[in-house]
Structure 1
Amino acid sequence: MGRYIGPKTKISRKFGECIYGEDKYFERRKYPSGEHGNNRRRGKRSEYFIQLIEKQKAKYTYGILEHQFKKLFIESSRKKGITGELLLQFCESRLDNIVFRLKFAPSRSSARQIISHKHIMVNKSIVNIPSFRLKPGDKIEIREKSKKHPVILESINKKIGIIVEWLILDEKNMFGIFRIMPKRIQIPENIKEQLIVEFYSK
């Protein structure tokens, strides 16, 4: 399969922030795992290391493999605009991310599973590809047969967080609209995209 399916708290501790959403275990220990924990002495981090960590953080956050992520970077670097912002826009416009942002799933990994099991429709057609790229104006909805799916219902009813301003959600009818492509300031993820651009530009 190739995706990371290990302990998520361990990854969050590696980056020093909760990248997978609410995590009570992370709140107890916000430092990297290891024998010496928070008391471990660390030398000065190189510029390359800092850039690598930021790239890894973005990959784990969006659940994208290295090959896919590099392809997104190459595509964003060839388009007119700010490369780092375009890269994040491509990540945000993936179907698995949008399903997560609309609260149809509690996490991006859960969103990928829901999509793969054909519970999601885009513009009235079933789409089972998590990496499917959406365009402004696209309508994302839960299939009629899937509207009582326990994971989807629980996620919607939890009402955790807010819907980002570039999406429209009709909670009652279980559909959302990808209104506009988000600007960098509208993307809530704590990612320093310029470091990623510098990493791949070497």
Structure 2
Amino acid sequence: MAGHFDNSTQTNLTGKVLIAMPGMADPRFERSVVLICAHTAEGAMGLVLNRPLPEIDFGDLLEQLGIATDGSARRIEVRFGGPVEPGRGFVLHSVPEHGDDPEGRLRIGRTLAMTTTRDILEDLAQGHGPDAAVLTLGYAGWAPGQLEAEMMQNGWLTGEGADDLIFGPAHTDKWQKALRAQGIDPSLLSAAAGRA
């Protein structure tokens, strides 16, 4: 079945968050929290949750895309989603628990989805659309086996993707909050932490 592993030795991390461990080799992901949107045998794709782009205004972005607003546009936060395709937008948003997913929408969890089509931006520009939404530019991608290798090297810890991590604005606290949710005191971690 597409999108799911049939190998019982691998874990599908779709809908989970990755929490960068101290000593993360890639500075683009230092102290980052990443929502895994898709994880298959072909690799993984995720969106960074705690890197706001305050210099990019959602209204200005709509204008650049030629999407008309009538003054009722929702105030949507724009974030750095990752280093791959930084000009491409992804809207993370809430969805009803039941119902069909239209083309361009990838359901990540029971009430969470990612949409890449222009129509969601048009809805948000008119004051409509999902209750909770953020726009990310770019994404994080891993080749087959790459994410698993990084996890084995203590690059990432996994956790649950709570709404406050996904939609909340307290970006400076998200890394610590994600660690504490796993029962880990961030002040006790060091870059030289070993594996048990």
TM-score category (smaller protein): under 0.3
TM-score normalised to structure 1 length? 0.27
Query: Of the two structures, which has the highest relative contact order with CA contacts closer than 8 Å and spacing of 6 or more?
Result: 2
User: Would you tell me which structure has more helix in proportion to its own residues?
Assistant: 1
User: Would you tell me which structure has more strand in proportion to its own residues?
Assistant: 2
TM-score normalised to structure 2 length? 0.28
